[in-house]
Amino acid sequence: MIHSASGAGLAARVQMNAMTNKSVSAMNADTADKIIVALDLPHLQAAHALVSKLGDAASFYKIGYELAFIGGLDLARELIAAGKKVFIDLKLHDIPNTIEKGVGQIATMGATFLTVHAYPQTLAAAAKGAQGSGLGILGVSVMTSMNDEDLVEAGYCLTVEKLVVLRAKQAKAAGAAGLICSAGDIANVRAAVGDGLKLITPGIRPAGSAVGDQKRVMTPGEAIRAGADHLVIGRPITAAADPAEAFGAILAEIGGI
Ligand code: C5P
């Protein structure tokens, strides 16, 4: 069900934008692909409104907990049908059989990425469930809202740095497509696993924007220079007075890198 004031479908509106805005260059399109807009919004109408505002400038969206349970997965299907790439951020973790079967179902949606927690059993089962589909499994290394003290409190005896590298190695061994890590982890991860994994980095904050609950942050430019393949960006775009302008500024910041 598409919620739109005009009644036009999302696919039609996206196509209309594509036809009326031919000024988006191929270079911009490649750069735009690096920005994954986190649709962390309270309802579908807000998500549709944001997608409309960003138009054909944005090509990659992430749907996570906030929308998934209130129709966000149907929105994901609509976005995919409209030619957008979608990252399903459900951070799955369960026994291998349940993960494999669940991921097998998600693999039919046509999404580009799905997150699971980067435990060896979970990664391997997810990779098995996604086999033969276009779905790439991303291992969540350590939340960018967590630092060394938070890991100690959660019962771990490794630093963030060591745990991220361990999980990167395990993600690669399990056949994952990529890893979620902070931009500050990229150098260590690349040194440990080479180029085999796509590195996707949340905790992105344009200069001067509110950090919120994130603890390990970098600007878009710094993260791309550090070697991030994709940036996951939520509130700096979704909470901006003018999301299209905020998106455009990030695009401009990373465009020349
Ligand atoms: O609003 P903000 O830019 O902080 O959003 C970051 C997004 O990335 C959120 O959707 C959050 O769930 C996700 N994420 C994260 N840290 C991780 C994994 C995912 O912030 N380690």
| Distance of alpha carbon 242 from alpha carbon 209, whole angstroms | 14
* Per-residue model confidence (pLDDT) at position 3: 38
* Per-residue model confidence (pLDDT) at position 25: 65
* Per-residue model confidence (pLDDT) at position 9: 58
- Please report, as a single letter, which amino acid is at residue 152: V
- The predicted-structure confidence for 145-194, as pLDDT tens digits, reads as follows 899 999 999 999 999 999 999 999 999 999 999 999 999 999 999 999 99
Is the pLDDT score of 12 beyond 70? Answer: no
What residue has token string 């996604």? 130
What is the mean predicted confidence (pLDDT) over 224-229? 96
* Total H helices, total E strands in the chain: 13, 8
| Residues flanking ligand 1, CB < 6 Å | 38, 40, 64, 89, 140, 143-144, 180, 202-203, 212, 214, 232-236
DSSP letter for 34, please.
T
Higher pLDDT residue, 208 or 52? Answer: 52
> Could you tell me the distance, in angstroms and rounded to a whole number, from the CA of residue 182 to the centre of ligand 1?
10
What is the mean predicted confidence (pLDDT) over 19-38? 76
| Distance of alpha carbon 257 from alpha carbon 252, whole angstroms | 10
- Please report, as a single letter, which amino acid is at residue 47: A
Nearest residue to 177 (alpha-carbon basis) of 232, 114, 120, 240: 114
- Please report, as a single letter, which amino acid is at residue 77: R
Would you tell me how many other CB atoms lie within 10 Å of the CB of residue 125? Answer: 25
| Residue 91 annotated in active site | yes
* Per-residue model confidence (pLDDT) at position 4: 39
How many Å separate Cα 25 from the centre of its chain?
23
- The predicted-structure confidence for 103-118, as pLDDT tens digits, reads as follows 999 999 999 999 999 9
Q: What is the pTM of this model?
A: 0.88
Q: Which of 91, 101, 162, 215 does the annotation list as catalytic?
A: 91
Higher pLDDT residue, 18 or 247? Answer: 247
* Per-residue model confidence (pLDDT) at position 37: 98
Long-range Cβ pairs for the range 211-216 (8 Å, 24+): 213/145, 214/144, 214/145, 215/144, 215/145, 215/146, 215/147, 215/150, 216/144, 216/147, 216/160, 216/182, 216/184, 216/185
Which band of pLDDT confidence, cut at 50, 70 and 90, is reported for residue 20? very low
Q: Identify the helix (H) or strand (E) that includes residue 197.
A: none
